[in-house]
Structure 1
């Protein structure tokens, strides 16, 4: 891990326009924190299919990490999900209802309880902008505070995407205390 990379137990707010190429590059580099066999990646996505996330990883990094979890938040409409047979055995997929933050938290907690002792967990939450379309700021803050705390407890490296152009400054300010650091991409 480079000196500029987040340390284990760190949660970073990544402020970038939703379709920014720099957002994608920053995300993928923040997930690649240790050698692949020791890496456990958890991706929470409101808009990408599991196949897209696996393909994106392979295009950027080659070999998949030792374990990859993908939580697809949504009703699945518009996602190009073929079947579990199309994904490697090291990729675990689950879904969550976007209107049920408690259910999402339970799925994430289940993934965290299955961590192997010698692995490094890297987490991408894409995105807070979409989370806030389904829940109010107070509920989002409580959920994020709880989840960020769980990530710190397991020394995960987490980052959370937010499109600053889609929110008032007050909304971003309310969420900032959850995070240890913030990065702005164009």
Structure 2
């Protein structure tokens, strides 16, 4: 499993609380290693040293470099696990940072890579924080159904 997030500690705590056992292999990409990892009651050194967990700081500040870093980890994970899952937790921030057109191309390229590996991928995106033209691009890319429930709106893959 690959998770791209800016809060690795929260992701690991949530996984540990809700699932318990670590997956066969869990890699986390984060833009900021200054974010603390959870306390030793959740993870310990053995989980990282020759264990199933890995946390890597993203070094790229552009989409091409980010795609390359994700691809490198996907290549390693594909050799190590039977079923590959990818979670991109901060898609809204990526769209805000780079704009909808470049992110559309970035996402399209990564989706092709995920498909070639037979990976299941999901993207966290908050449509109510974006302008409609950006949301339209993402609906096209993902063939998404936009739903509104109570005060929150979200996209679901058709």
Q: Matched residue pairs, number?
A: 142
Q: In the alignment, which residue of structure 2 is the partner of 1:173? A: 136
Distance 2:60 2:81 in 1: 32
Q: In the alignment, which residue of structure 1 is the partner of 2:73? A: 111
TM-score w.r.t. length of structure 1: 0.67
Larger radius of gyration: 2
Distance 1:118 1:70 in 2: 15
Distance 1:107 1:44, change over 3 A: same
Superposed CA deviations along residues 15-42 of structure 1, whole A, max 9, x for unmatched, are xxxxxxxxxxxxxxxxxxxxxxxxxx11
Distance 2:115 2:17 in 1: 29
The offset of 1:81, in angstroms, is 3.9
Q: Which runs of 5+ in 1 are unaligned?
A: 1-40
Larger relative contact order (C-alpha < 8 A, sep ≥ 6)?
1
TM-score w.r.t. length of structure 2: 0.77
1:152 to 112, 115, 118: 115
Q: In the alignment, which residue of structure 2 is the partner of 1:43? A: 3
4+ residue runs of structure 1 moved beyond 4 angstroms? 180-185
Q: CA RMSD for the aligned pairs?
A: 2.5
Q: In the alignment, which residue of structure 1 is the partner of 2:127? A: 164
Q: In the alignment, which residue of structure 2 is the partner of 1:37? A: none
